[in-house]
């Protein structure tokens, strides 16, 4: 037998042991869907009693951004917020939200790929998810809505849940700072960096596109965008010109959204 054989065998056994230990450990993730039920139970018992529910939406965002824009953005931002909080997990992102009517198609439903559900159905979905979390020991259920169209629905769900949960240890929150930082707050930051209002836009303009470049650049058809005429409302772009969008500008918004939302959640859940 070769004298190297025992050494190779030992090395293989050691590597196998290390791999088994690595697989046995709880993964370093804040994503609830990537954990087992026992890992979630233990995390809650250890103090991770806040659950963040990212809410996106599947809608058109002009010719140059994929329809899952809000879903991906809400997922990434919620994960970064949870990591900074240190006591939170992130629920699966809600991708089906109110986006307009069917007959006749209205709002974003005028563009292929958009998916809509009624407001009542949306609110019931969020309330049911929140009650599920409360059953399993989460004390703070935080809704983060990335889309302006359903902010009123979030407030109604939060009010309903907190009335229902009166006298219990569970509470619901929808910090206004998250959406404010991504809309009016981010627009102000862009103005300070020399970006005009007619570029910033309210939907699929420079603000939207830059944020997406910072969190999921593969969803932006940037090369086509740079060499295209400025799109307009007929293309699904409202009040903006995205052609000067950049990941660097987007990162300014990401940093502001995460910082302001973390501060708001800590304030709202203080002492709980």
DSSP state of 116: B
Cβ 74 vs Cβ 56: under 8 Å: yes
Residue 156 forms part of a structural domain: yes
Q: What is the CATH number of the domain that holds 163?
A: 3.40.50.10310
Residue 34 forms part of a structural domain: yes
Residue 8 forms part of a structural domain: no
Q: How many domains does the chain divide into?
A: 1
Q: How many CA atoms lie within 13 A of 264 on its CB side?
A: 20
pLDDT the model gives residue 7: 60
Residue 121 forms part of a structural domain: yes
Angle value at C-alpha 181, between 176 and 182, nearest 5 degrees: 105
Please give the residue range of the domain that contains residue 70: 27-269
Residue 89 forms part of a structural domain: yes
Residue 17 forms part of a structural domain: no
State both tokens at 30.
Answer: 């804040």
% pLDDT > 70, the chain: 90
196 contact partners, CB below 8 Å, separation of at least 6: none
Sheet holding 88-90, edge to edge: 88-90, 50-55, 140-145, 171-173
Between residues 223 and 140, which one has the greater pLDDT? Answer: 140
Average of per-residue pLDDT across 206-233: 94
Confidence of residue 172 (pLDDT cuts 50, 70, 90): very high
Residue 1 forms part of a structural domain: no
Number of other CB atoms surrounding residue 62 within 10 Å = 25
Question: Which pLDDT tens digit goes with each residue over 88-106?
Answer: 999 999 999 999 999 999 9
State both tokens at 146.
Answer: 């990335």
User: What is the distance between the alpha carbons of residues 256 and 239, in angstroms, rounded to a whole number?
Assistant: 23
Residue 20 forms part of a structural domain: no
- Taking 80 as the threshold, does the pLDDT of residue 21 lie above it? no
To the nearest whole number, what is the mean pLDDT of the chain? 93
Number of other CB atoms surrounding residue 7 within 10 Å = 10
Number of other CB atoms surrounding residue 165 within 10 Å = 17
pLDDT the model gives residue 227: 87
């Amino acid at each position: 037998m070769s004298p190297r054989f025992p050494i190779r065998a030992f090395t293989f056994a050691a590597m196998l042991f290390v791999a088994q230990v690595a697989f046995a450990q709880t993964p370093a993730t804040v994503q609830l869907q990537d954990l087992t039920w026992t890992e979630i139970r233990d995390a809650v018992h250890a103090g991770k009693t806040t659950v963040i529910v990212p809410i996106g939406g599947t809608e058109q965002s002009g010719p140059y951004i994929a329809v899952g824009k809000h879903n991906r953005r809400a997922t990434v931002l919620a994960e970064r917020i949870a990591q900074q909080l240190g006591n939170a997990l992130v629920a699966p992102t809600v991708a089906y939200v109110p986006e307009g009517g069917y007959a006749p198609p209205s709002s974003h439903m005028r563009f292929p790929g958009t998916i809509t559900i009624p407001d009542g159905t949306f609110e019931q979905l969020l309330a049911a998810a929140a009650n599920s979390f409360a059953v399993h020991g989460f004390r703070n259920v935080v809704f983060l809505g990335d889309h302006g169209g359903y902010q009123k629905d979030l407030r109604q769900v939060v009010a309903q849940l907190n009335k229902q949960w009166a006298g219990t240890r569970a509470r619901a929150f929808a910090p206004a700072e998250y959406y404010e930082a991504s809309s009016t707050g981010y627009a102000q930051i862009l103005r300070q960096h020399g970006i005009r209002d007619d570029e910033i836009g309210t939907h699929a303009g420079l603000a939207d596109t830059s944020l997406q470049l910072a969190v999921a650049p593969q969803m932006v058809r940037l090369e086509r965008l740079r060499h295209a005429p400025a799109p307009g409302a007929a293309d699904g772009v409202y009040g903006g010109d995205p052609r000067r969008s950049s990941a660097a500008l987007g990162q300014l918004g990401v940093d502001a959204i995460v910082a302001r939302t973390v501060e708001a959640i800590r304030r709202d859940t203080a002492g709980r």
